[in-house]
């Protein structure tokens, strides 16, 4: 659990054997603290510790093994005199929100910025105050026993303190010896490095001496070569003097040739002047060609501008073509839907025709049954019955019994048979006609929109 600071404290996996608990002493540690209240921790920094900026005080559950097992912590404030030789009293206040909520035993521990424990307090608890803590009633025997236990504990405490002091003294002596050993080891390492440097310098000097000997031998050989070269140079000098005389004679001949060359040079200068005039003429022609090229470039820019306009026009026409193609696809899709609807209506019409044929056959059957009953009634009754039959409605197909009024004894049979039936084809034909009208009307509307 963390306090209000955001930085993690420096911890380490150092075990208890490597800690120095006597360098920081915790004072006025209560046996228990009441939950819900702030806790002030008092401690003393001895002269054996030099406080640093990342030192911290943590609350640890009893039984902890490493400094990483803290419950909460607070940064330890630096005293005014950090390097003083006297003990310094310090205090830290832990907020109630960050304190443990259980009744386990805890203790304060002072940890330096290297993660090493420098001091630890006696255990304490976080629990509410009870009557047992306020009033304790004991007998005389119990008091004597407690006093005896206190004496024994004090004696053991003194022995432990003496042992602790002895161990601390031994620890300090061992630390001094360790420090001296480390100093000796550092000196030995320094001597080793110095010896290695001297050996390297000796090897370097040996190599340099060998190199100088080789150079001396080389120089003696070079001196012998120089003597031979001097003899060669002397003979070469005689030979060169002879050649110099020959060269002077040759120079006289060259001077006469130079005079001839100067005359030729004058002729070349005149020719160069003529060529310069030709070059000026060519430059004028080049200027005219440059002007022509500039005009052609302007014409090219104008043609490119016209080409861009044509490309924009082509893009607009392509977009319009795509829109018209999309409209054509929509119209074709709607036409397919209307064709499908027309096929459905034709199927319904076929079903209605079949049902109409069945009704006609059924009506013919009823007429045959009624014609067989004409022997029972007279012809006059039949005529009177025909006069009383109402006219069929307009636009309907009527199938009736002409002998209905004349035959009173057949009333029960006529009641079971429909005397007038309307053909369902009329209603379905009306819906079919409306569908056909819709089919013919929608393409016309699409044609008007386009």
**pLDDT tens, position by position, 80-138:** 877 777 889 999 999 999 999 998 999 999 999 999 999 999 999 998 766 555 555 55
Distance, in Å, from the CA atom of 1 to the CA atom of 72, rounded to the nearest integer, reads 5
Distance, in Å, from the CA atom of 245 to the CA atom of 377, rounded to the nearest integer, reads 180
Distance, in Å, from the CA atom of 116 to the CA atom of 12, rounded to the nearest integer, reads 7
What pLDDT does residue 126 have?
Answer: 92
Distance, in Å, from the CA atom of 2 to the CA atom of 72, rounded to the nearest integer, reads 5
Task: Assess if CATH 2.40.37.20 describes domain 1-129.
Answer: no
What pLDDT does residue 410 have?
Answer: 47
Mean pLDDT by 10 residues, the chain (450 residues): 56 56 90 92 92 94 92 93 82 94 93 93 86 57 80 82 84 86 88 89 90 89 88 89 90 88 88 88 89 90 90 90 91 92 92 92 89 67 53 44 46 47 44 45 47
DSSP collapsed to 3 states, the chain: CCCCCCCCCCCCCCCHHHCCCECEEEECCCCEECCCCCEEEEEEECCCCCCCCCCEEEEEECCCCCHHHEEEEEECCCCCCCCCCCCEEEEEEECHHHCCCCCCEEEEEEECCCCCEEEECCCEEECCCCHHHHCCCCCHHHHHHHHHHHHHHHHHHHHHHHHHHHHHHHHHHHHHHHHHHHHHHHHHHHHHHHHHHHHHHHHHHHHHHHHHHHHHHHHHHHHHHHHHHHHHHHHHHHHHHHHHHHHHHHHHHHHHHHHHHHHHHHHHHHHHHHHHHHHHHHHHHHHHHHHHHHHHHHHHHHHHHHHHHHHHHHHHHHHHHHHHHHHHHHHHHHHHHHHHHHHHHHHHHHHHHHHHHHHHHHHHHHHHHHHHHHHCCCHHHHHHHHHHCCCCCCCCCECCCCCCCCCCCCHHHHHHCCCCCECCHHHHHHHHHHHHHHHHHHHHHHHHHC
Distances in Å between the alpha carbon of 47 and those of 50, 89, 395, 444? 7, 12, 126, 109
Which two structure tokens, joined as six digits, stand for 378? 């007279």
What pLDDT does residue 418 have?
Answer: 46
Q: Which helix (H) or strand (E) holds 117?
A: strand 117-120
Three-state secondary structure call for residue 410: coil
Per-residue pLDDT of 382-440, as tens digits, reads: 555 555 545 444 444 444 444 444 444 445 554 454 444 444 434 444 444 444 444 44
Distance, in Å, from the CA atom of 127 to the CA atom of 130, rounded to the nearest integer, reads 9
What pLDDT does residue 403 have?
Answer: 46
- The domain segmentation of the chain, as residue ranges, is 1-129
């Amino acid at each position: 659990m963390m306090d209000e600071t955001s930085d993690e404290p420096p911890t380490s996996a150092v075990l208890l054997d490597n800690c120095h608990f006597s360098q920081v002493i915790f004072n006025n540690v209560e046996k228990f603290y009441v939950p819900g209240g702030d806790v002030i921790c008092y401690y003393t920094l001895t002269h054996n510790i030099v406080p640093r900026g990342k030192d911290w005080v943590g609350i640890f559950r009893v039984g902890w093994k490493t400094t990483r097992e803290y419950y909460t912590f607070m940064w330890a404030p630096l005293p005014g005199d950090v390097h003083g030789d006297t003990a310094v009293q310090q205090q830290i206040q832990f907020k109630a929100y960050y304190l443990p909520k259980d009744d386990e035993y805890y203790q304060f521990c002072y940890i330096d910025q290297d993660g090493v424990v420098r001091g630890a307090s006696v255990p304490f608890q976080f629990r509410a105050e009870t009557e047992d803590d306020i009033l304790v009633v004991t007998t005389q025997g119990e008091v004597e026993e407690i006093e005896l236990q206190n004496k024994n504990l004090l004696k053991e405490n003194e022995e432990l303190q003496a042992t602790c002091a002895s161990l601390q003294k031994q620890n300090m002596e061992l630390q001094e010896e360790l420090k001296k050993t480390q100093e000796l080891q550092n000196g030995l390492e320094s001597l080793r490095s110095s010896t290695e440097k001297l050996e390297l310098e000796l090897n370097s000097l040996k190599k340099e001496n060998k190199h100088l000997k080789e150079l001396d031998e080389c120089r003696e050989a070079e001196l012998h070569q120089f003597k031979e070269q001097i003899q060669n140079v002397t003979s070469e000098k005689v030979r060169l003097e002879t050649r110099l005389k020959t060269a002077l004679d040759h120079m006289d001949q060259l001077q006469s040739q130079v005079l001839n060359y100067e005359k030729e040079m004058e002729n070349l200068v005149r020719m160069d002047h003529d060529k310069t005039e030709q070059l000026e003429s060519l430059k004028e022609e080049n200027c005219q060609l440059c002007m022509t090229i500039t005009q052609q470039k302007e014409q090219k820019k104008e043609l490119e501008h016209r080409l861009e306009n044509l490309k924009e026009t082509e893009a607009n026409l392509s977009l319009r073509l795509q829109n018209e193609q999309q409209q054509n696809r929509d119209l074709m899709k709607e036409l397919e839907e209307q064709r499908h609807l027309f096929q459905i209506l034709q199927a319904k019409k076929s079903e209605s025709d079949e049902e109409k044929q069945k009704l006609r056959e059924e009506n013919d059957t009823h007429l045959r049954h009624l014609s067989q009953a004409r022997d029972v009634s007279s012809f006059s009754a039949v005529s009177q019955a025909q006069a009383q039959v109402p006219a069929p409605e307009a636009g309907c197909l009527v199938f009736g019994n002409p002998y209905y009024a004349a035959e009173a004894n057949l009333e029960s049979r006529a009641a079971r048979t429909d005397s007038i039936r309307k053909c369902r084809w009329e209603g379905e034909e009306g819906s079919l006609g409306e569908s056909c009208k819709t089919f013919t009307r929608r393409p016309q509307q699409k044609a008007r929109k386009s």
